[in-house]
Amino acid sequence: MINAAIVGLGWWGQNHVAASRGSEKIQFTRAVDLAPANVQGFCDTHDLKLTAHYEDALNDPDIDAVVLVTPHSQHSDQIVAGAAAGKHVLTEKPFALNKADGERAANAMKASGLTLGIGHNYRYGPAIQEIKRIIGTGDLGDIHHIEANLSHQGQIGVEGWRRATAEAPTGGIVHFGAHMIDIMCWYGGPMREVYGQIVTQSLENDVGSVLVKFKSGITGYLANLMTTPATMHLHVMGSKGWARANGWMDTTKITTCFGAGTVEEGGGSVNEIELPARDIISQIRANDENFAAACEGKETYLFSPDEMAHTAAIHEAIAKSAASGIPAKV
């Protein structure tokens, strides 16, 4: 069991605390929030010692790890400070917004020998993990192309740092597109080049799309809209078949197609797979518990620091491409 401090008690920070209740691997005992009066009631309910200063958590000898739910541009400095204080760190996505900051943070944690975590809870979703398993079996053959779209209306009416251009230079690609970038790289490996376009329809930078080239030769397509009703589409296509998940990130269904066939026959054998349920809160808990066990050397964490740093380089390249109108190297 590790003791953790939650840094940032907005709605998502509160989800981390709620998800961990009753866990035998991680418990939150301290909270940091810049507006303590707004969250005092929550902290009282969950027995959290509350402060407005990050340094208080870093200087607390009873705290093993910090979980950062803070503005994106602050992550790197806060991770480096956590490493210097001897604390394990899990930060919410995106890991960082540019390659230099991402590498600086990842290298600080690697040098410290501490565990670095990332809030990509969707890797723990049933459909996402099942598609990863199918890829590993080789049943899809050589992977040729990956398409991903994760869109929702959650930014409508939102004010504050999440909508600031400095924190989200590519709009929804930074917010929910970041999850799909992580999954695409988990399936296809590092990205080599991106060609992004960001369009304003209803909100600033509310429609984004990215053509992707992976180092392996796989191609891909990523999209996000910030004003459409919630939807998710993930499709992996190979030389022998494809696997697809639709709906939302807690979907329990996958459709697969293997083998050859005429167009009239449907182009192969199509099957639906029903999986055990794991809702979003359960995914958060799974990530936090995997991180906590890795901190104690009891489990291997599902992510590596190099993977996290690479996503920061991808975000920077997408922003550069969208601004210039030409592809950008990652």
Name every residue whose Cβ is closer than 8 Å to that of residue 320 and which is 6 or more positions away in sequence.
328
* Residue 160 in this model has a pLDDT that exceeds 70: no
Which amino acid, one-letter code, is at 188?
Answer: G
Residues 188/194/195/201 CA torsion (nearest 10 deg) = 80
What CATH architecture is 2-120? 3-Layer(aba) Sandwich (3.40)
* Residue 109 in this model has a pLDDT that exceeds 90: yes
According to DSSP H, which parts of 146-219 are helical? 172-175, 177-188
* Residue 158 in this model has a pLDDT that exceeds 70: no
Mean local confidence (pLDDT), 232-245 = 96
- Average model confidence (pLDDT) across the chain: 94
Whether omega before 61 lies within 30 degrees of 0, making that bond cis, reads no
* Residue 159 in this model has a pLDDT that exceeds 70: no
Topology annotation, domain 122-282+311-329? Dihydrodipicolinate Reductase; domain 2 (3.30.360)
Query: Interior CA angle at 191 toward 190 and 192, to 5°?
Result: 120
3-state secondary structure at position 228: coil
Q: Which residue has the tokens 């990863």?
A: 132
Mean local confidence (pLDDT), 165-174 = 87
Distance (Å, whole) CA 307 – CA 191: 11
pLDDT in tens, 205-226: 899 999 999 999 999 999 999 9
Q: Where in the chain are the domains?
A: 2-120, 122-282+311-329
Cα–Cα nearest to 12, from 33, 36, 27: 33
Using a 10 angstrom Cβ sphere, with 0-12 exposed, 13-18 middle and 19 or more buried, the burial of residue 318 is buried
Name every residue whose Cβ is closer than 8 Å to that of residue 244 and which is 6 or more positions away in sequence.
233, 234, 235, 236, 254, 255, 256
Eight-class DSSP state of 308 = H
At residue 154 the predicted structure's pLDDT band, cuts being 50, 70 and 90, is confident
pLDDT in tens, 116-130: 999 999 999 999 999
Is residue 249 a contact partner of residue 150, using CB atoms and an 8 Å limit? Answer: yes
Eight-class DSSP state of 201 = S
Distance (Å, whole) CA 220 – CA 147: 6
Name every residue whose Cβ is closer than 8 Å to that of residue 165 and which is 6 or more positions away in sequence.
204, 205
Is residue 222 a contact partner of residue 181, using CB atoms and an 8 Å limit? Answer: yes
Tokens of 309: 């740093």
